[in-house]
Chain A
Amino acid sequence: MMSPIIQTAADEGTPGGLAQILPAPRWVDGHPTLHQITDDVVRAMEARPGKGWWICFAISLAALGNLGVMVAYLFAKGIGIWGLNSSVGWAFDITNFVFWVGIGHAGTLISAILLLFRQQWRNSINRSAEAMTIFAVMCAGLFPLLHMGRPWDAFFIFPYPNQRGPLWVNFRSPLVWDVVAISTYLTISLVFWYLGMIPDLATLRDRAACGIKKVVFRVLSLGWNGSHRTWSRYETVSIILAGLATPLVVSVHTIVSMDFATSLVPGWHATIFPPYFVAGAIYSGFGMVMTLLILTRQTMHLERYITMRHLDAMARVLLLTGSIVSYAYATEFFSAWFGGNLYERYHFINRATGPYAWGFYIMVLCNAITPQVFWFRKARANVAALFVASVAVNIGMWFERFIIIVVSLHRGFLPSSWAMFYPTVFDVGILVGAFGLFFTCFLLFIRVLPMVAIWEVKGTVGHGAHRMALSDDEAAPEVAHG
């Protein structure tokens, strides 16, 4: 009697033969070997950076430098250098804060929620999306800190035993919840990102000949040796973290929305805010992921792993979340009319016809109308269209926060305190600077760490994928038997 091993070996042939018989993995172009996947991803890091990278890096670094100078000046002079006044006490700073936190949410959606839903297309984009999350949350954290006016006393927000009583923070305040939520979010995202990178860092360690690179990767890869017993626990922990990160990400933007919704300001005081903000956050984040991936897949030659099918899937998510956001806009107007509250009604009339109406129409154009092009397959298959739309989404989502914050504040309950907000050079400069911080971090990331999760892509094309492909694809069993 033949042993089971020989039977299987005879059935399935050599690995090369197997790859040719079975259908191509769905989310990678062609049939790359495992070694080739490592090569393709690492080559992008090992090659000298091209001219495009240097130009982008120089611009980002200049913007980051600008941020440093402006923040130093802000520390010296106080937030009076911004265009704030006693009516509009929150403007660019909090707009930027909500904008950046929102950007971060797509990373967690891709890395955690799509993992729970077993979406294989996340495998080649999750690493860069998570990196984006971390850099975006860093940028976000900067703004409340600067907005405090005395950032050196920022630690007052944490409930530590102090000599003022001890006087504790007000645990009923969404602003305090926000600090805890954002800190937890940054910590868990960092841990999730790093944990996901350990096997790849080991791959890099084993490729490095010697020298400083080997030492650094050795320290970072924690002695990983590919043991399946460890892999098994590792996958369980990844699922647990994904399970924790999923409600976490929803809680973070829910709490951000409560910063507004628990107040009595017309335009803020709305129960729709939590789901509206969460959908908006994922929407803006996907816009940013799309912008970044379109740029990097071409410059880093990763088209094989970040395929048009990936961009198509992301465009569909943009269409879905964009439509949810549009629905929320409509609901806000409907409730203002249907609720019969004079101040609410006035606020929404002012939003659409007041001095900031231009911002409102930019928002509607970018967020509600632009993504509708993704109903068409042709638009989803056109990289230029995807790129323009993704940038438009980001512009629109920044304006959405600006409209919510500034338009609500500038004409409150008391007409005598109505005022306009005009940004100063420092408002704009710090916004540009935050982009500098974000892009500097991202550009460094794609040079020093693998921006595509090597082991996850290998899993997609490896053993498990063939089994999955067979069960997914109706034509496959015939091919396999034939």
Chain B
Amino acid sequence: MAREFLVATYSDANSLMSTVEALRAENLKIHDVYAPYPIHGLDRAMRLGRTRLPWVTLLAGLCGCGVALAFQFYAAVFDWGMNVGGKPDNSTLAFLPIAFELTVLAGGLATVAALLLRARLYPGKRECLIVEGVTDNRFALAIPKSDSDGTARARQILELSRPDKLEEKAAEL
């Protein structure tokens, strides 16, 4: 369902950054910021928490490693032991390279899949651009609109920040 937003557009990241800092200094809620490249320092300014995606990598990597070791052990020791050059059936050290590769494979693929799920990105999704040009040279700031005093104060701050454009918009972000 579409919601109402106050949207300020800028043509440089510095104005946007200082506006975000001003808004956050007064504890005003920011829905999101839209930019053509990742603006370093904005995470802290927006007080975004650390993403939990590295945990996905760790868990998936451990699974990949465990499955690879267990499977090699099962195949080489229990299911069909083979005498290759007199080496022991359980040649654990020789099982490590494949275990390492599968750790990386599982960790990498799971992390990317988790990112796409979390950010709700999928093939063919129709993009919802807050303003035109956010993938080129525009920077936009979206504040959720409500009847509270917060919205009025946010509007004041946005007006003071001299954006290229300040508008109210309904969007499904």
Contacts and interface: CB of A to CB of B under 8 A. Distances in A.
A80 interface: no
B14 A177 contact: no
B16 to A, nearest CB: 8
A456 B36 CA distance: 10
A6 B160 contact: yes
A15 B104 contact: no
Contact of B125 (A34, A222, A462): A222
Interface in B54-86: 54, 57, 61, 71-72, 75-76, 79-80, 82, 84
Contacts of B102: 180, 184
Interface residues of A, number: 77
B22 A226 contact: no
Contacts of A240: 53-54, 57, 107-108, 111
A69 interface: no
Nearest to A223: B125
Contacts of A156: none
A177 B98 contact: yes
B60 to A, nearest CB: 11
A395 to B, nearest CB: 31
Nearest to B100: A251
A236 B48 CA distance: 13
Contact of A222 (B38, B123, B132): B123
A206 B37 contact: no
A424 B71 CA distance: 43
A223 B32 contact: no
A226 B13 contact: no
Given A203-B135, A251-B100, A9 B18 contact: yes
A168 interface: yes
Contacts of A218: 124, 126-127
A235 B38 contact: yes
A183 B39 CA distance: 35
A237 B137 contact: no
B115 interface: yes
B149 interface: no
A200 to B, nearest CB: 9
B35 A231 contact: yes
Interface in B130-173: 130, 132-137, 157, 160-162, 173
B36 A203 contact: yes
A191 B109 contact: yes
Given A38-B136, A172-B87, A223 B126 contact: yes
Q: Which of A159, A192, A229: most chain B CB closer than 10 A?
A: A229
A423 interface: no
A241 interface: yes
Given A228-B38, A236-B53, A15 B135 contact: no
Contacts of B48: 228-229, 232
Interface string B99-129: 0111011011101100110111111111111
B80 A166 contact: yes
A354 interface: no
Given A228-B32, A459-B38, A464-B39, A241 B112 contact: yes
A3 B128 CA distance: 32
Given A171-B72, A464-B39, A251 B14 contact: no
A43 interface: no
A462 B43 CA distance: 16
B6 interface: no
A151 interface: no
Contacts of B157: 3, 5
A225 B34 contact: yes
Given A177-B101, A191-B108, A206-B129, A463 B115 contact: no
Contact of A167 (B80, B91, B104, B116): B80
Nearest to B94: A172
A15 B36 contact: no
Contacts of A176: 98
Contacts of A86: none
A206 B76 CA distance: 54
Interface string A149-185: 0000000000100000111101111101100110010
Nearest to A181: B101
Contacts of A226: 34-36, 129, 134-135
Contacts of B19: 5
A320 B57 CA distance: 33
Given A202-B135, A459-B38, A224 B51 contact: no
Contacts of B105: 184, 187-188
A166 to B, nearest CB: 7
B17 interface: yes
B51 A230 contact: no
14 contacts: A3-B22, A3-B157, A4-B21, A4-B25, A34-B136, A177-B101, A187-B108, A206-B132, A222-B122, A225-B135, A226-B129, A247-B104, A459-B38, A462-B39
Interface of A: 3-6, 8-9, 12, 14-15, 18, 33-35, 38, 159, 165-168, 170-174, 176-177, 180-181, 184, 187-188, 191-192, 195, 198-199, 202-203, 205-207, 218-237, 240-241, 244-245, 247-248, 251, 255, 455-456, 458-459, 462-464, 467
Interface of B: 11-15, 17-19, 21-22, 25, 32-43, 46, 48, 51, 53-54, 57, 61, 71-72, 75-76, 79-80, 82, 84, 87, 91, 94-95, 97-98, 100-102, 104-105, 107-109, 111-112, 115-116, 118-130, 132-137, 157, 160-162, 173
Given A188-B105, A199-B37, A463-B12, 13 more contacts: A3-B22, A5-B18, A177-B101, A184-B101, A184-B102, A184-B104, A184-B105, A187-B108, A202-B135, A219-B123, A222-B116, A224-B127, A232-B38
CB-based closest 8 A-B pairs = A223-B125, A463-B13, A15-B12, A34-B137, A222-B121, A464-B40, A228-B33, A8-B18
